[in-house]
């Protein structure tokens, strides 16, 4: 790949293909370029694809797959010649072509599939603000809900704030009362996931007991699940994700796929996007 390639171009590999290509394609189309260093037409096609990726400014992503380095991945897609290009949208291959097309035909191919450039938006300089105290935020939102009881989004905000302060029962009532459109909001789903972890701990043993159980039997996945839930609810996201990842590595089918479900629920709860991204890649490397 060109060392000066734009930010929308990346090298794809087998361990991260699900996360970086299949899952990402649900947000933005991904063009996958299977190529090789010895391939003459690849040297013609590659720079044009990178140029378009830069010009489209995130309208699509360009995933480069060196078939010599990623033979297993090339075999999975039954690549018989290079270059071969595939377009992935919503987790599925929707079209593709072999060989090096000229720039005009490449533009027509993208346009045919509704792939368009994104406008460059100038971002304002971020304004630094002090983190809000969760308890103060609950007080503020209670007053806001009282003043505008018809504003359902304020009730969702209050439910999420209550979850951060331990107000599980009231938060659950607020989430249950949300209208259908807000009940499927990403923030509402995050609240539901957090409620799920809190419910797990209702009759769960305390942390020292669970740690002792795991020390005595590292394969005690039930104890690991509860210990991970303790960590997530207590704010130690990485420790919780580590427990769930360890469950997945030991037995992905435990209790009908509980390790994978626990990780996905935790991804909804954890707000650190970099941490979530890192553990999504680790999860993909274990299950793909």
Active site residues: 39, 42
Query: Residue 169 and residue 171: Cα distance in Å, rounded?
Result: 5
Query: Residue 96 and residue 170: Cα distance in Å, rounded?
Result: 52
| Tokens found for residue 222 | 């039930």
| Tokens found for residue 79 | 């690549």
Q: 25: which DSSP letter?
A: G
- Give the sheet arrangement for strand 9-11, strand by strand: 9-11, 61-66, 30-35, 84-89, 92-98
Please say whether the beta carbons of 95 and 113 come within 8 A: yes
CA nearest neighbour of 194 among 158, 174, 164: 164
Phi, psi values for residue 226, rounded to 5°: -70, -35
């Amino acid at each position: 790949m060109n060392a000066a390639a734009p930010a929308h171009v990346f090298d794809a590999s087998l361990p991260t293909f699900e996360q970086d290509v299949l899952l990402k394609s649900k947000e933005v189309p991904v063009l996958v370029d299977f190529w090789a260093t010895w391939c003459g037409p690849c040297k013609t096609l590659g720079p044009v694809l990178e140029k378009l990726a830069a010009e489209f400014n995130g309208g699509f992503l360009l995933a480069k797959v060196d078939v010599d380095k990623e033979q297993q991945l090339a075999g999975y897609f039954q690549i018989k010649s290079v270059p071969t290009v595939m377009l992935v949208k919503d987790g599925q291959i929707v079209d593709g072509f072999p060989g090096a097309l000229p720039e005009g035909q490449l533009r027509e191919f993208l346009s045919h599939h509704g792939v368009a450039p994104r406008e460059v938006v100038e971002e304002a300089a971020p304004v630094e603000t002090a983190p809000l105290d969760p308890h103060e935020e609950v007080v503020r939102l209670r007053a806001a809900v009282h003043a505008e009881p018809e504003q359902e989004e304020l009730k969702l905000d209050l439910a999420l704030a209550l979850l951060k302060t331990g107000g599980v029962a009231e938060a659950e009532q607020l989430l249950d009362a949300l209208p259908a459109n807000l009940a499927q909001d990403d923030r509402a789903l995050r609240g539901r996931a957090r409620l799920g972890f809190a419910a797990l701990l209702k009759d769960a043993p305390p942390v020292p007991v669970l740690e002792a159980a795991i020390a005595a039997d590292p394969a005690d996945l039930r104890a690991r699940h509860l210990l991970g839930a303790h960590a997530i609810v207590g704010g130690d996201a990485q420790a919780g994700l580590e427990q769930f990842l360890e469950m997945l590595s030991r037995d992905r089918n435990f209790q009908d796929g509980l390790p994978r479900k626990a990780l996905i629920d935790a991804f909804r709860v954890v707000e650190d996007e970099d941490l979530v991204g890192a553990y999504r890649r680790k999860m993909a490397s274990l299950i793909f």
